[in-house]
Amino acid sequence: MSNYMSILGAVGIAGIAVAITGCAGSVEPPTSQMRAAESSVQQAVSSDARNFEPVLLNQAQNKLADAEELIDDEMSEENYQKALHLLEQASVDAQLAGARAETAKAKQAVEEINRNIESLRQRMNGSQ
């Protein structure tokens, strides 16, 4: 009976070790976070961030590329956490670049409108 219990215990421990090893090596890549970061970068590009905030957009793209590189390597828990952090940073950087680009475009539009108003005022004053 004691040999049977020893064998059963050894098999149980081996099974637990295999299960733990299998879990540790099979971390799923953060695909939804990757898609969100890619979408944020694409939206920033669409907002003309390349013209208004090229440094910030470039930082977002670099962080996205670094995260992709980590994901392409073995997906350990450490790489998962690093990739997740980079993806979050890339999303925020891209969103900020897009928002700043939109703000800069709005400022330009306001300046153009103000110039037009001033030009109309001058014409009206000149015709009186």
Radius of gyration of the chain (CA): 28
- As a dihedral over the C-alpha atoms of residue 117, residue 118, residue 119, residue 122, rounded to 10 degrees, the angle is 120
Q: For the segment 85-111, what is each residue's pLDDT rounded down to a tens digit? A: 999 999 999 999 999 999 999 999 999
Q: For the segment 37-91, what is each residue's pLDDT rounded down to a tens digit? A: 999 999 999 999 999 999 999 999 999 999 999 988 877 889 899 999 999 999 9
At 128, is the secondary structure helix, strand, or coil? Answer: coil
The whole model's pTM is what? Answer: 0.72
Residue 31: both structure tokens together: 């695909």
